[in-house]
Amino acid sequence: MPGHETAGSLPRPRHIAIIMDGNGRWAYRQHLPRVAGHRRGAEVVREMVQACAESGIPHLTLFAFSTENWRRPPLEVRLLMNLFRLLLRREIRKLHENGVRLRIIGDRSSLEPDLQEMIREAEERTAANRRLNLNLAVNYGGRWDIAQAARKAVQEMHSAGEDPGQISEERIAVHLSLADVPNPDLLIRTGGEQRISNFLVWQLAYTEFYFTDTLWPDFGREALEGALRSFGQRQRRFGRTGDQILEGSCASE
């Protein structure tokens, strides 16, 4: 699907994924410690969640901590985890009141036990909310995701007495994170780098990419509108020709 369209307006994404990058550089520029950039970044998360809920975008997936981010200095890792705790403690009520369903994607087994428990509680509390699906990627890696899904698919086939040699894309896809939501229509990466950094590598196969030099702490509603305008002007072909799309062939994956 190209995203949803309302009469007279540009197509809008149903699912936006964001690589929130540039917190550290923002802090350096202000002569502040890196954590100040992460703190400001967390405020922008709040603003984006609000903006997406108001614009009727049903799915938002944010990259908060990658499987590679453990390579950072231990102090920074600790501060990021504490910030995450703070977010779960302080924001969950507001998210719940605003109809936001929070889900964490990633390998949570290596997070601190108290954090795992807070995640479980937050997910349970917001499970019935439908206004906005907020997926936060914590200790997430696209390669981890594919490997864990493949492992589950093989186990499933093994138990069913099927030949794992017959494994298909579909068999893997149902076990991936976010299997129950449409693939992202739009990926935004702030902070100037033009790479995926092991985010949703499978799910982004046909996603439109939008890179901006704006650092995440400076990203706001206006910047989001810019990304949405860019998305609205693109022709998504999914392998078909431009003429086919103009003739009205359903443009979907």
Q: Which residues contact 41 (CB under 8 A, 6 or more apart)?
A: 20, 23, 26, 216, 217
Which residue stretch of 16-24, 52-60, 93-101, 149-157 sits at the interface with ligand IPE (rule: CB under 6 A)? 16-24
The reply to whether 163 belongs to the active site is no
CA dihedral for 226, 22, 47, 141, sign (positive or negative): positive
How far, in Å, CA of 180 to CA of 174, rounded? 8
Residues ≥6 apart with Cβ < 8 Å to 42: 83, 86, 87
The Cβ-side half-sphere exposure at 7, using a 13 Å CA radius, reads 0
In whole angstroms, give the CA distance from residue 17 to residue 13: 10
Task: Among 191, 200, 212, 228, indicate the residue that binds ligand IPE (CB under 6 A).
Answer: 191
The encoded tokens of residue 233 equal 């002007």
Instruction: Verify binding: residue 148, ligand IPE, rule CB under 6 A.
Output: no
Give the nearest distance from C-beta 21 to ligand IPE in angstroms: 5
- Tell whether residue 22 is a contact of ligand IPE (CB under 6 A): yes
Edge-to-edge strands, sheet with 59-66: 100-105, 132-140, 59-66, 15-19, 186-189, 208-211
The single residue of 21, 23, 139, 185 carrying the catalytic annotation is: 21
Candidates 57-65, 85-93, 110-118, 221-229 — which segment interacts with ligand IPE by CB under 6 A?
57-65
Instruction: Give the relative orientation of helices 74-97 and 113-126 as an angle to the nearest 10 degrees.
Output: 20
Catalytic status, residue 180: no
Binding characters for Mg ion, 16-45, by CB under 5 A (x = yes): -----x------------------------
Instruction: For residue 65, state whether it binds ligand IPE (rule: CB under 6 A).
Output: yes
Smallest distance from the beta carbon of 11 to ligand IPE, in angstroms?
26
Structure tokens at 64: 């908060």
Q: How far is the CB of 76 from Mg ion (least distance, A)?
A: 11
Measured from the CB atom, is 11 or 142 closer to ligand IPE? 142
Give the number of residues in contact with Mg ion, rule: CB under 5 A: 1
Could you give the CA distance from residue 106 to residue 250 in angstroms, rounded to a whole number? 33
Q: Single out the segment in contact with ligand IPE by CB under 6 A; choices: 50-58, 99-107, 148-156, 192-200.
A: 192-200
3-state SS assignment for residue 184: coil
20 binds, among Mg ion, ligand IPE, none (CB under 5 to 8 A by kind): ligand IPE
49 binds ligand IPE (CB under 6 A): no
* Residue closer to Mg ion, measured from CB, 21 or 208: 21
Q: Which positions touch ligand IPE (CB under 6 A)? A: 19-25, 63-66, 69, 80, 191, 193, 195, 197
Active site residues: 21, 69
Q: Which residues bind Mg ion (CB under 5 A)?
A: 21
